[in-house]
Structures are given as structure tokens and as C-alpha cells.
């Protein structure tokens, strides 16, 4: 017997959970990372965290529907937003606040969506990005079509698609990896492995040592990064996106992180998640990790970081106010966009409903 193929999966961590930098400042600078960019990164993460905290509060007080927070995942989500170009297309799952905000989605748009209003997914800025995707892994196949269109039209654009660890068990995930490999499409798959698919832990999801290695079956490379490391996520994503843009085909990044919140506001993780595990994960979370680094290196002062928090809180409060002030949508909103032109039956049903409501 002879070995005919061998594979390996790399893991990157450049800022560890103790906020120790594992590469040199020169290396950081060579990637365009410095005190200013790290402070911007911090601000995006904190905005996401502040938004999530507020969204949960809105849900608890009856002003928002069920909400899935991204708490704990802010680093990878921010890195995606900062490394993509505006002309690229983002295909999210449903825990992508930071990426979407960086790409131009407004907080009030996300609130409208989770508040049960049809208008939320009509992003006013990032018009070609996909709406949030509630069924699991189906968005991976949309990214195939998007990236195929780029390839067909010879556009130097990249599709970035995100899914969770649970999604890697779905057929659509495997079909997408396979097709991306066959056609060498400009796609970066990001698996945000937050260790829990509602109540099912990572080790019950797959026997694979890594989720990254699933890319190998698709005929391309996969790697792991510390998803709570704002430096590793940025550097590795930038490489993957640049490579895809240059025509070198797809790549998969498994970002190791932890879901610090419940699955959604309708979930109680205490039913299944050991409290010690949560405590350990808190010590590895991305925002404090970066804050400690910024302070240690004197890249920022305590008062600067406090000011960032104040700005984030203010921005969130203003968007919540705009959300709450939105005039209600008319009943006809559910009919208007079913087809480009409303078929006769729908017109009839709408007028019946309208006359009943009057």
C-alpha cells in the first residue's frame, strides 16, 4: 500500500487569550495593522456587543421578536467586514451583526427584521448582499451562484459566505464545497464554530478533528484560526480573499469561537451548557482580549476606550429610536413583493382583506 495523498490543516493564533502578541510589530505593520486600525476593530466589535445587549433588552421588554445574539463572535464577524471590499458579496447566516454593519446595513434595518417588519432586509447600502438566512447551510449554495456569476463575467470579486458549526453537517454545505472546488470559484467559506448548534455540542456534530478539513473533500484548502483573535482572523481572511480574487479558487476558514449567549432569546443554554465551560470561554472572549492589548501597548488609554463605549451606546440608542419611530407597514406589505406584478388572485385576496379590515 502506498500513500497517494496527504493533507494538513493549519491553525493560526497571533493574539492569544492572555493578550500576548505572538508575532512582531513589524509583521503586524506589514499587514497594515497598527494602533489606529486596532482601535477601529475594537470599536466595531464593541458596537456589535452593545447592539446585541440592547436587542436582547428590547426583546425582553416586548419591543423585538426572538433574537439570536452574536455575543462572543465579534472578532471573526468584524474581520470579515473589514477585509471584504464593497464590491464583494456577503452571504450571511443570521449572527453577522458586525460584518453587516461594516458593509453598510443599518442597525435599524436589523431591528426591523427581528422586530417582524418586512422592510428590514431591504438593506439601503449593501444592495447586493444577501438577506439573513434562517434555514441552516442553504446560503452556501447561493454563494456558488454568486461566485459563478463573477467568474462568468470575469469580475475580480469575491463571495464570502458564513455558516455555523452545525451547518457543516448539512447536505447543502457539502454540495457547496464540492461545486466550489469543481469550478474553482472565488469564494471564502467561513465556518464560525461557536461550539454549539442550539444544544448539540461540536463533538456530537462531527467526528472530524477539524471542520476546516471538510474543505479538503471539496478539493481545496481549509484552515483554523482563533476566531476570537482580531489579528489572526484579519490576516488569514485577507490572504484567503486576495487569493480568491486572484483566481486561485475557494478556501475555507474555520473560526474557533464561543457562543457566549443563548442560541436565541427563546433559548435557555443553562439546560445543556456546563457553567464551567462558559466561564472558561469568557476568559477567551475577543473584546476584552483586544482591550487589554491596546492598554498594555498604550495604543489606547482607558478613557479612550470608555469614549468608544459612549459612542457605541449613543449610536445604538439613536438607531433604536429610529426603529421605534418607524411608521407601521401597511397590511398590503405582505402582498406587494410576492411577484414583480401582482397576479389577479393576489389582487383579489388583498382587496378582500382590505375591505374586511376597513
Partner 1 sequence: MPEFTLIEAVNAAMDYEMSVDDNVIVLGEDVGANGGVFRATDNLQQKYGELRVIDTPLAESLISGMSIGLAAQGLKPIAEIQFMGFIYAAFDQFLCHASRMRNRTRGRLSCPMVLRAPYGGGIHAPEHHSESTEAIFAHVPGIRVVIPSSPARAYGLLLAAIRDPDPVLFLEPKRIYRAQSEQVENNGIALPLDVCFTLRQGHNLTLISWGAMLTETLAAAEKLSEEGIEAEVIDLASIKPIDKSTILDSVEKTGRCVIVCEAAKSGSVAAEISAIIAEEGLTSLLAPILRVSGHDTVMPLFKLEQQYMPSVEQVITAAKKVMEY
As beta bridge partners, residue 91 has 161
Total residues at interface with partner 1 (CB under 8 A): 43
Closest to partner 1 by CB, 74 vs 108, is 108
> Could you say whether residue 338 binds partner 1 (CB under 8 A)?
yes
> Could you say whether residue 350 binds partner 1 (CB under 8 A)?
no
Q: Is 261 exposed, middle or buried (0-12, 13-18, 19+ CB in 10 A)?
A: buried
> Could you say whether residue 299 binds partner 1 (CB under 8 A)?
no
> Could you say whether residue 267 binds partner 1 (CB under 8 A)?
no
Answer for which of 25, 36, 87, 128 binds partner 1 (CB under 8 A) is 128
> Could you say whether residue 106 binds partner 1 (CB under 8 A)?
no
Contact criterion met (CB below 8 Å) for 326 and 109? no
Helices 35-60 and 107-114: crossing angle in degrees, nearest 10, is: 30
- Three-state DSSP at 231 gives helix
Q: Which residue, 276, 217, 280, 285, is CA-closest to 256? A: 285
Q: Minimum CB separation from partner 1 for residue 11, in Å?
A: 30
> Could you say whether residue 298 binds partner 1 (CB under 8 A)?
no
Of 50-58, 207-215, 297-305, 335-343: span binding partner 1 (CB under 8 A): 335-343
Answer for which of 42, 67, 150, 220 binds partner 1 (CB under 8 A) is 150
> Could you say whether residue 144 binds partner 1 (CB under 8 A)?
yes
Q: How far apart are the first and last CA of the chain?
A: 79
Which residues have CB under 8 Å from 317's CB, separation 6+? 54
Q: Minimum CB separation from partner 1 for residue 167, in Å?
A: 13
Q: Which residue, 246, 228, 218, 227, is CA-closest to 288? A: 228
Helices 138-152 and 171-183: crossing angle in degrees, nearest 10, is: 20
Answer for which of 42, 90, 123, 196 binds partner 1 (CB under 8 A) is 123
DSSP code of 83? H
Residue window 156-185: x/- pattern of binding to partner 1, with contact defined by CB under 8 A: ---x-----------xx--xx-xx--x---
Burial 33-50 (b: 16+ CB within 10 A, else e): beeeebbebbbbbbbbbb
Answer for which of 1, 5, 152, 275 binds partner 1 (CB under 8 A) is 152
> Could you say whether residue 130 binds partner 1 (CB under 8 A)?
yes
Q: Which of residues 274-293 bind partner 1 (CB under 8 A)?
A: none
Half-sphere exposure of 265 (CA within 13 A, CB side): 19
DSSP code of 15? B
Q: Which grid cell sits at 68?
A: 439570536
Of 35-43, 65-73, 220-228, 342-350: span binding partner 1 (CB under 8 A): 342-350
Instruction: Point out which residues bind partner 1 (CB under 8 A).
Output: 89, 91, 118-119, 121-123, 127-128, 130-131, 135, 138, 140-152, 159, 171-172, 175-176, 178-179, 182, 334, 337-340, 343-346
Amino acid at each position: 500500500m502506498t500513500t497517494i495523498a496527504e493533507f494538513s490543516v493549519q491553525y493560526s493564533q497571533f493574539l492569544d487569550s492572555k493578550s500576548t502578541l505572538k508575532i512582531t510589530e513589524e509583521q503586524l505593520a506589514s499587514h497594515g495593522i497598527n494602533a489606529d486600525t486596532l482601535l477601529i476593530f475594537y470599536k466595531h466589535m464593541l458596537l456589535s456587543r452593545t447592539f446585541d445587549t440592547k436587542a436582547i433588552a428590547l426583546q425582553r421588554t416586548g419591543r423585538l421578536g426572538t433574537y439570536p445574539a452574536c455575543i462572543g463572535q465579534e472578532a471573526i464577524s468584524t474581520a470579515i467586514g473589514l477585509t471584504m471590499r464593497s464590491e464583494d458579496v456577503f452571504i450571511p447566516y443570521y449572527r453577522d451583526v458586525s460584518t453587516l454593519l461594516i458593509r453598510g446595513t443599518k442597525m435599524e434595518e436589523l431591528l426591523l427584521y427581528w422586530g417582524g417588519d418586512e422592510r428590514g432586509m431591504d438593506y439601503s447600502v449593501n444592495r447586493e448582499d444577501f438577506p439573513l438566512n434562517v434555514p441552516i447551510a442553504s446560503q452556501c449554495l447561493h454563494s456558488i451562484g454568486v461566485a459563478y456569476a463573477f467568474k462568468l463575467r470575469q469580475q475580480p470579486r469575491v463571495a464570502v459566505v458564513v455558516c455555523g458549526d452545525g451547518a457543516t453537517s448539512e447536505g447543502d454545505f457539502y454540495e457547496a464545497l464540492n461545486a466550489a472546488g469543481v469550478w474553482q470559484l472565488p469564494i471564502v467559506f467561513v465556518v464560525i464554530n461557536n461550539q454549539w448548534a442550539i444544544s448539540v455540542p461540536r463533538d456530537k456534530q462531527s467526528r472530524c478533528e477539524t471542520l476546516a478539513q471538510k474543505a479538503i473533500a471539496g478539493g481545496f484548502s481549509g484552515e483554523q484560526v482563533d476566531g476570537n483573535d482580531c489579528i489572526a482572523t484579519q490576516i488569514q481572511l485577507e490572504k484567503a480573499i486576495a487569493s480568491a480574487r486572484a483566481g486561485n479558487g475557494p478556501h475555507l476558514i474555520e473560526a474557533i469561537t464561543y457562543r457566549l449567549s443563548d442560541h436565541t432569546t427563546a433559548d435557555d443554554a443553562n439546560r445543556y451548557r456546563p457553567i464551567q465551560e462558559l466561564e472558561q470561554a469568557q476568559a477567551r472572549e475577543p473584546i476584552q482580549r483586544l482591550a487589554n492589548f491596546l492598554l498594555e501597548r498604550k495604543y489606547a488609554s482607558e478613557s479612550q476606550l470608555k469614549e468608544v463605549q459612549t459612542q457605541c451606546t449613543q449610536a445604538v440608542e439613536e438607531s433604536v429610536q429610529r426603529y421605534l419611530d418607524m411608521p407601521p407597514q401597511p397590511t398590503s406589505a405582505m402582498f406587494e413583493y410576492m411577484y414583480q406584478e401582482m397576479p389577479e388572485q393576489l389582487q383579489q385576496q388583498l382587496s378582500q382583506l382590505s375591505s374586511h379590515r376597513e
